[in-house]
Amino acid sequence: MKWLTLTTFLPLAGVVILLPWRGVRDDVARVVAMVVSVATFVVSLVILGRFDGSATGFQLVEQATWVRSPHLQYLMGVDGISLFMVLLTTFLMPVAILASWPVEKNVRFYMASFLFLETGMIGSFLALDLLLFFLFFEAILFPMYLIIGVWGGERRVYSAVKFFLYTMFGSAFLLVAILFLYAKSGSLPGGPTFDLRQLVHLGLSTAAARWLFLAFLVAFAVKVPLFPLHTWLPDAHTEAPTAGSVILAAILLKVGAYGLIRFNLALFPSGVEYFRTFVQVLAVIGIVYGAVVALIQTDVKRLVAYSSVSHLGFVVLGTFALTQQGMTGGVMQMINHGLSTGALFLLVGMVYDRLHTRDLFEMGGLAKGMPWLMGAFLFVALSSLGLPGLNNFVGEFLVILGTFATNRALGAIAATGVVLAAIYLLWSYQRMAHGTVPEKHANHPDLTVRESAVLAPVLALILVIGVYPKLLLDRINPTATRVVNQVVQSQTAGTGPASGTQAAGEGS
C-alpha cells in the first residue's frame, strides 16, 4: 500500500467530491470535510506505525517516473522530521474544520479550499523531487489566498494580496534555483534529475552554492518568516478566519522552516558555512524583535502573530546551530509552536465569536463568566512562554543549549525572548481575564461542547509532550543527527573527522 500517496491525496478526494456538488447542504459539506480529514489523520497514523524510529534515512519511499525529459519524478519519502510535520498537519486539520463549523459563507468552497490546502502541505513535506516539491509548495498558495481573501476580516483583500505577493517573490527565486540545479545535475551518474537524494552529491562551486543557498533562503525565509521579511504575517493572521490563522501559523510557517532544513542544509553545505551566522543573527533579531513588538500590540491576534515571529526565530536558531541538540530542539519547536500557537488562535477566535472584538482594551474580567475558556487560554499561554512540564520548554531548552554550545552570545540573547514572552502573554491574559467585566460582556457563555472537543486534543498533546517528550525525541533525534552530521562532515571534509556535532560537556 502506498501510504504516503494515500495520505497526500485523500484530502484531494474530498475536494473532488465537494467542488462539483452544487447545492449540497452546508451541514453535509462540513461533515464530508470532517470525515475526509479524520480519515487522512487515521491513514497518517499508519505511517507513524510503520516508521522505523531508529533508521536515519528516508523511509516508505515511493518512486515513479512522471516526465522523462525533463526528468521529473514522482518521488515521496518520509524521515523523522517530515513524519511529524505530516502528523501535525493531519492532526490539526480536523481540529481546524471542527473550529470552522460556524462559518456560513460558501461552506462548500471553504471546506474544499482547506482540503486542497492539506494536500499541498502534506505533499510539500513528503516530496523528495525538487520540482514536485515546488508544485506542492505553490499549490498551498492559492487556497490560502482564497481563505484569507474571501472568508477574512475587513482588510482581507489587502492582506491576501500582500501574502500572495510576498510568497511569490520568494517562489521566483526558488524556481530559478531549482532549474539551475537541474541544469547542473547532468554531471551526476544518473543524468539530470530533481531527485534530492542525488542532488546532495552534486559538486557545486563555492560561489554557486552560496548563490543558490541565498535563493532558497529568500523563498523559505519569507514563509518562516525570518526578520525582516515578516510583515505579511501580522496582516495575514489578523484578517484570516480563525481556522485559516491556525493552519497558517501551525503548518504553513513550518513549510518554510522545513525547507531550510531539508534543502538549504542538505544541498549547500558551503553556503551554510558562509551564511550560518548571518541566518542565526537574523533569527535572534526575530526572537527579540518579535517579542518586543508583541509587547505593545492591542489587537490580540496581532500579538499572537508577532509572538510567532519570535518563536520561529528559535526554530531557525536551533537548526542553524548545527548541533544535535539544537537541531532536535528546533524540529521539536516546529511541532510545539504548531500546537501552542494553533491553540492560541483557536482560543482568540472563540473569544472573538463572543465579544466581536480583538481589542484587548475592550476586554476584561472574562475569567469570571468563562473560567474554562480563560483557563484554557492561560494553559496555552503558559505552554507558549515555556513553562517546564508543558511542550515548549523542552524544545526551547534544547535550542538554547545547542546554540550556546557553538555561540554563547546568541544563546544568551535568545534566552531573553523567554522573559519577554512571559510579559506579553501574561499581559494579554490579564487584559482579557482579569479586572472587572464590561457590562456588555457580562453574560457570554463558557466553552460549548464543540469548542471543548476542538481544544481538548490539542491541550492534551501540549501536556503529554511536556511530560513525556521521548515520544517525539526518539524519532526526531536520529534524523536530526544525520542532517547535522551531513552538513558538518561535508564542511570539514579533508580536515579530519567531524567535530562539534554535539553539545557534549567537556568534562564528560
Partner 1 sequence: MLKWVWLVPVLSLAGAAINLFAGKKLGRRAGWLASALMVAAFGIALTVLNDLAKLPGNERTFILHLYDWVTVGSFRVAVDLRVDPLSVTMMLVVTGVGALIHVYSIGYMEHDPRRGRFFAFMNLFAFFMLMLVLAENFLILYLGWEGVGLCSYLLIGFWFERTIAANAAKKAFVTTRIGDTFMLIGVVLVFLRLGSLDFAKVLSQGVSSSQPSGVFTVIALLLLAGAIGKSAQVPLHVWLPDAMEGPTPVSALIHAATMVTAGVYLVARTHVFFEISGVALTVVLIVGLVTAVYAATAALGQDDFKRVLAYSTISQLGFMFFALGLKAYAAAIFLLVTHSFYKALMFLSAGSVMHALDDETDMKKMGGLIRVMPITGTVFSLGALALAGVPPLAGFFSKDQVIAAANHGGDQLAWVVALVAAFFSALYIMRMIFLTFAGRPRWQGHPYESPPVMLVPLILLAVGAVAGGLLGLSAVTGKLPAFLAPVLGEVHQPTRGMSETGLSLISVIVALLGVGGAWLVYGSGRIDWVALRVRSAGLQRFLQGGWYVDDVYSTVLVAPGKAGSAVLAYVFDAGFIDGAVNAVGRLFRALASVGRRVQTGLVRNYALAFLFGVVAIFVYVGFRL
Q: Which is nearer to partner 1, 85 or 214 (CB)?
A: 214
Burial label for 142, CB within 10 Å (0-12, 13-18, 19+), is middle
Minimum distance, C-beta of residue 181 to partner 1, in the bound complex (Å): 10
Q: Which residues contact 15 (CB under 8 A, 6 or more apart)?
A: 112, 115, 116, 119
Three-state SS for 327? Answer: helix
For the beta carbon of residue 336, count every other beta carbon within 10 angstroms: 31
What sections of 127-247 are H helices per DSSP? 130-151, 156-184, 196-199, 206-223, 232-239, 242-247
Minimum distance, C-beta of residue 507 to partner 1, in the bound complex (Å): 4
Contacts of partner 1 in 49-78 (CB under 8 A): none
Torsion sign, CA atoms 309, 314, 319, 320 = positive
> Could you tell me which stretch among 96-104, 341-349, 367-375, 457-465 binds partner 1 (CB under 8 A)?
367-375
Rounded-to-integer distance, Cα 160 and Cα 297, Å: 21
Residues pairing with 388 in the sheet: 390
Number of residues that bind partner 1 (CB under 8 A): 80
> Could you tell me which stretch among 8-16, 49-57, 236-244, 497-505 binds partner 1 (CB under 8 A)?
497-505
Q: Which is nearer to partner 1, 203 or 505 (CB)?
A: 505
Minimum distance, C-beta of residue 173 to partner 1, in the bound complex (Å): 6
Minimum distance, C-beta of residue 93 to partner 1, in the bound complex (Å): 26
Map residues 401-430 to x or -, x wherever contact with partner 1 holds by CB under 8 A: x--xx-----xx--xx-xx--xx--xx--x
Rounded-to-integer distance, Cα 41 and Cα 90, Å: 5
> Could you tell me which stretch among 22-30, 93-101, 273-281, 467-475 binds partner 1 (CB under 8 A)?
467-475
Q: Which of 49, 54, 190, 436 binds partner 1 (CB under 8 A)?
A: 436
Contacts of partner 1 in 247-306 (CB under 8 A): 289, 292-293, 295-297
End-to-end, the C-alpha distance of the chain in Å comes to: 46
> Could you tell me which stretch among 6-14, 104-112, 456-464, 469-477 binds partner 1 (CB under 8 A)?
469-477
Is 456 an interacting residue with respect to partner 1 (CB under 8 A)?
no
Q: Which is nearer to partner 1, 43 or 437 (CB)?
A: 437
Q: Which is nearer to partner 1, 352 or 397 (CB)?
A: 397
Q: Which is nearer to partner 1, 43 or 423 (CB)?
A: 423
Is 455 an interacting residue with respect to partner 1 (CB under 8 A)?
no
Q: Which of 135, 434, 486, 490 binds partner 1 (CB under 8 A)?
A: 434
Amino acid at 502: Q
Minimum distance, C-beta of residue 85 to partner 1, in the bound complex (Å): 19
Map residues 314-353 to x or -, x wherever contact with partner 1 holds by CB under 8 A: ----------xx--xx------------------------
Q: Which residues contact 379 (CB under 8 A, 6 or more apart)?
A: 390, 459, 462
Three-state SS for 39? Answer: helix
Contacts of partner 1 in 116-155 (CB under 8 A): 145
CA angle centred on 442, ends 437 and 444, rounded to 5°: 125
Is 198 an interacting residue with respect to partner 1 (CB under 8 A)?
no
Q: How far is CA 389 from the centre of its chain?
A: 22
Minimum distance, C-beta of residue 177 to partner 1, in the bound complex (Å): 8
Contacts of partner 1 in 213-232 (CB under 8 A): 215, 228, 231-232
For the beta carbon of residue 387, count every other beta carbon within 10 angstroms: 15
Q: Which of 41, 116, 125, 164 binds partner 1 (CB under 8 A)?
A: 164
Q: Look at the block and give the residue holding cell 535572534.
A: 284
Is 208 an interacting residue with respect to partner 1 (CB under 8 A)?
yes
Is 502 an interacting residue with respect to partner 1 (CB under 8 A)?
yes
Contact 263, 216 (CB under 8 A): yes
Q: Which is nearer to partner 1, 150 or 161 (CB)?
A: 161
Q: Which of 26, 62, 150, 368 binds partner 1 (CB under 8 A)?
A: 368
Q: Which is nearer to partner 1, 38 or 175 (CB)?
A: 175
Three-state SS for 65? Answer: strand
For the beta carbon of residue 494, count every other beta carbon within 10 angstroms: 4
| Alpha carbon separation from 63 to 5, 66, 72, 74, 194 (Å, rounded) | 11, 9, 11, 6, 12
Residue 113 is inside which H or E element, if any?
helix 107-126
Contact 350, 365 (CB under 8 A): no
Q: Which of 31, 67, 176, 409 binds partner 1 (CB under 8 A)?
A: 176
Q: Which is nearer to partner 1, 189 or 505 (CB)?
A: 505
| Alpha carbon separation from 327 to 54, 88, 338, 371 (Å, rounded) | 17, 18, 17, 38
Residues pairing with 390 in the sheet: 388
> Could you tell me which stretch among 20-28, 40-48, 310-318, 474-482 binds partner 1 (CB under 8 A)?
474-482
